[in-house]
Amino acid sequence: MEKVVLAYSGGLDTSVLVGWLLDEGYEVHCVYVDLGQPCEDIPAALEKATKIGAASSIAVDAKEELCRDFAFPVLQWQAKYESIYLLGTSIARPLISKVCLQRAREVGATAFVHGATGKGNDQCRFQLAAEALEPELRIIAPWRMESYRSKFPGRTAMLEYCAAKNIPVKASVAKPYSSDENCLHISYEAGKLEDPAVDGIPIIDFGMTVSPQEAPDKEEYVTVGFEHGVPVSINGKKLDAYSLLKTLNEIGGRNGVGRIDMVENRFVGMKSRGVYESPGMTCLYSAHLALEQLTLDRDLVHLRDRMSPEVAEMVYYGFWYCAKMDALMAFMRETQKPVTGEVTLGLYKGNVRPTSRKSPNSLYDEAIATMEGGGSYNQTDAEGFLRIMGLPLRVQGNSRKRPY
């Protein structure tokens, strides 16, 4: 009997997959990758997989690794897909693949199974990671198989299958959206959210944030400490990566921070509407950028800013394990060496503002920057500077007269 490893969440789709794989004659090993999903019952999910008939069902704690080795390097790039999305789902998928492939080696599996659809981005992220890490391992993607889609054309058929197999599920036909969660964010899509004209706020039961309207009427302050671009402390207390993000999720969440609603361009070519909440990461992006403004020089920051959209695109598409990403991350590690210090943020009804920043490596010199008289900057020097900068323009102006 061929052994397969299934990336398993315990939801409707992967619960159906356990039963279907057994029907197809596979020995199924389920792997629940614990990424700090704030609203899920892991023991119940594992027990359900075993009751359905999985040969094994285990959870692997990867919360710290997700924050330390995946999310924080992307944070250092200030990477946002299409200038908005903080990549919470995208960042997690390569790690899920990695953990599942490690389990495949342990049990001697010959295939890796995932429940991503043939329309979405996750199929790309899972498969591209697997191709890079285990090129010989077979990928089974049931949603790309005509036979599977014929058997399960929609949620009604899946629910009927679960009822016939006595597979317990919480989903219902009337659920107005689907969600995916980890400690970085929760995403909401599909169902009624597929209509871009529909306001998602009244539909969604948000799991990490209160609405800005319901947030406290008083600004809350939090201080984030960084060492070499890595967040290491909250209000002076050193924390591991996951605990730090969890703390910021709580602080940002109660102040309504980190909700976005966007129509994005998927890797496969279509547009899709998604609603996301990322309270902790939104705070970290703001604090990190404020500290970089003190510690990094202009040309380096501008170079990073030109490259950042490409990094965001690579993460979104699933190109995490590749030579180009390795080189870019090496560049970023060098870039972040002076980014050490503390930033205090003010959080108020969905807004985040840096209120103070300090660093032992600050490049800010008040004596140079002051608008008061004197100081160490000689304004007369700007005369020669601008004459040199203006030379090409004067030459052009003499040879090509511009109408004005």
Q: Which residues are annotated as a binding site for L-aspartate?
A: 117, 121-122
Choosing from 57, 93, 155, 272, the catalytic residue is: 93
The Cα-based distances of 99 to 68, 113, 224, 361 in angstroms read: 16, 13, 30, 38
305 tagged catalytic: no
Choosing from 57, 122, 273, 286, the catalytic residue is: 122
CA–CA separation, 146 vs 292, rounded Å? Answer: 50
CA–CA separation, 366 vs 64, rounded Å? Answer: 39
CA–CA separation, 348 vs 346, rounded Å? Answer: 7
Residues making up the binding site for ATP: 7-15, 115
217 tagged catalytic: no
* 8 A C-beta contact, residue 283 and residue 307: no
13 tagged catalytic: yes
Residues making up the binding site for L-citrulline: 85, 90, 121, 125, 178, 187, 264, 276
Choosing from 178, 233, 243, 362, the catalytic residue is: 178
The Cα-based distances of 326 to 73, 99, 316, 341 in angstroms read: 11, 19, 16, 26
CA–CA separation, 375 vs 231, rounded Å? Answer: 35
Closest by alpha carbon to 287, among 363, 186, 209, 356? 356
- Residue appearing with tokens 């492939």: 101
Q: Both tokens of residue 47? A: 């027990």
Residues making up the binding site: 7-15, 85, 90, 115, 117, 121-122, 125, 178, 187, 264, 276
178 tagged catalytic: yes
CA–CA separation, 359 vs 342, rounded Å? Answer: 7
Query: Which are the catalytic amino acids?
Result: 13, 93, 122, 178
